[in-house]
């Protein structure tokens, strides 16, 4: 059985401000780094991991490196398939910006956004390759909320009709004989009771 722990990156200033990030290379803010440290301490105390694979975008890479430093693993691979859904022209804008620029029905326009189906396909392909390349291993994957959610909906459609992932949440997937299970979803108990810098 291969176990994949999927982590959403720590929070960024654009997350706080409600700005669409997509493939924009935005770093973690101070709170995001503190969230990643809290998760790293939980992972170091609770379970062994064999390797880390991450999106190559800065906010995921930084989260992965903070975790790796605590659990004694360097990042094994950067995988562009784990990037967030590309936002096309909406990257760098808030909902108010989009309504002002394109109107309330901006979602119906062709603004160069990646389709949900394409995101789900590349996310699922990345995880299938991990199962194939690292059978029986325990692999941490650091990625992005949209990509993780759409991938879960693709792999386990009956369990996940909709998803919402918190920053530095961990979701556990297990794969045995090409069958997926998700025994833990969007867990953030490492953040319980923590007060982070504003």
CA distances from 103 to 68, 98, 106 (A): 44, 7, 6
Q: How many CB atoms lie within 10 A of CB 105?
A: 8
- Per annotation, catalytic residue among 62, 65, 84, 91: 84
Q: What pairing do the DSSP bridges indicate for beta strands 51-54 and 2-8?
A: unpaired
- Residue environment code for 48-71, b if the CB has 16+ CB neighbours within 10 A, otherwise e: ebebbbbbbbebbbbbbbbbbebb
Q: How far apart are CA 28 and CA 34, in angstroms?
A: 10
- Per annotation, catalytic residue among 9, 65, 114, 190: 9
Concerning whether 190 is annotated as a catalytic residue, the answer is no
Closest of 1, 111, 102, 90 to residue 50, by C-alpha = 1
Interaxial angle between packed helices 145-155 and 116-133, expressed in degrees from 0 to 180 and rounded to the nearest 10? 80
Q: What angle (nearest 5°) sits at the alpha carbon of residue 163, between those of residues 159 and 168?
A: 115
Catalytic residue annotation: 9, 84
């Amino acid at each position: 059985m291969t176990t994949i722990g999927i982590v959403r990156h720590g929070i960024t200033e654009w997350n706080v401000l409600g700005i669409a990030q997509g493939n924009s290379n935005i770093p973690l803010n101070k709170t995001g780094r503190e969230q990643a440290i809290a998760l790293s301490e939980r992972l170091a105390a609770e379970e062994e991991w064999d390797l880390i694979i991450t999106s190559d975008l800065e906010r995921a890479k930084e989260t992965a490196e903070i975790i790796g430093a605590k659990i004694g693993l360097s990042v094994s691979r950067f995988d562009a398939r784990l990037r967030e859904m590309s936002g096309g022209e909406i990257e760098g804008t808030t909902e108010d910006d989009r309504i002002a620029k394109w109107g309330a029905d901006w979602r119906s326009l062709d603004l160069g956004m990646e389709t949900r189906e394409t995101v789900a396909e590349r996310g699922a392909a990345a995880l299938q390759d991990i199962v194939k390349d690292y059978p029986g291993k325990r692999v941490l994957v650091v990625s992005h909320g949209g990509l993780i959610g759409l991938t879960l909906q693709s792999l386990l459609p009956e369990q996940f009709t909709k998803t919402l992932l918190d920053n530095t949440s961990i979701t556990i997937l297990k794969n045995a004989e090409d069958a997926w299970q998700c025994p833990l979803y969007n867990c953030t108990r490492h953040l319980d009771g923590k007060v982070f810098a504003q």
